[in-house]
Structure 1
């Protein structure tokens, strides 16, 4: 196997975390995938690079040497990428995508003034579509939202940062008996019908709802409708067709109430996905700062 930069990043993540589990979480990989990658890397060297124990992992002597060179190589590569790629006509244009919401609108207002690159923005209907577009370099970066524990694994070459967690709220008719409560126990909604968005390969809304309801002691009854537009969903909720879910930062509509669930059993993850080969990768700290500013200013945090 030919070593690539991503393999060196895996070694550095393991060495820094001292644990395959923590390193996998930092790189947004499953532990089996991380273990398989490490096994292949070690096989390419013909010797173990880490010693395993109940407390975690530590580099072997060979591992320390490899990690030292890997750190130098990754640092050099990051410096190279920090230089903005320029075409004959000036800075290379970049495209940022995402779903509707406060973070994408914040970037639309503030990112063009912070970069010399021409910036365009595109909105996607689903997290999976946006993640795929970043993965195949059709766009450079995307602001995404999935559900904690029910997202998708990013493609090779895509760096994903978790910006923050936001509680998912339930939307119910304004006249619902529980609409006046500060928080609602999910178990008290066992007899309701649920409206969900269309299937999204980047975020398993159905699996997340079923899992949360199972913990509350019931199986949710689902409407046959699959609608992604929150305005339409709120209209249906107001008319008594069913209940739905939304991020806490969603704007309330007339005729409905938005309430947090007791214990926040469902959490949305706000993510920034950025391709490592994009000219934007050198501006990653800038992007993260803008996205975090938007999240902290306009999103409801868990707690």
Structure 2
């Protein structure tokens, strides 16, 4: 029996250690401060697509959560005047297990006051390049990739058109009036697999309904869009970057909408992070991004499964 052994070999673990060192050197050269924030949080994200893992408070009173991202704590540091910061840390998400997912994973996240989203895209490409080697980079809008691979404009297409397109590509046995469900299904099942796996592909300007904690602006065709991007390489989503929202009232509105959608879906309604709300008025203009570090290691090792680059996945803890 070998269940006690690591699933990753020591060559992969050595490359992982090397990549950690390279990332730290990358940010040190740019005067970005490495920070360390708690893994426990009083409130998790409210995004209906992300479920936090609850933990009993050490005091025995109330409930805490294992962080799904260091975002909220890092924004409090930014609001307090930290300047540019990054963090490499463990994050936890309930129910996420598969070829590229483990409920406990390593995240690389950084925030850059004063930089543009285009500047951040350049930095993300450089960080991915530490794992992939030199690659061509392509930047497209969400509208452009949908028009190219689905033949429709995601901002103006009707729910019926989105549904019909999904059914042309996929064998589906359900129906829905949720516009974002169809957009996300087409993005993950049609658009993403069509992206060039040998280039670092950035998709920017998502629909405003998928803004999460990004600002909303207007694109050249006058459609409202979320000022955010996702990065893809080798068939994997690697990064999610935002021009960060700074409006506390808008944050409360979006949390309320998350709670509404969670209620409809029968999900729990997590508490609101009161510390983040108090910090929001002091948050500087900044951009931020999160990268799944384990996936970077998968690229560096040409691994097919996350288990090949982490010592002990869920089944061996």
Task: Give the TM interval when normalised to the shorter protein.
Answer: under 0.3
TM-score by length of 1: 0.24
What TM-score, normalized by structure 2, do the two folds share? 0.23
Larger radius of gyration: 1
Higher relative contact order (CA 8 A, sep 6+): 2
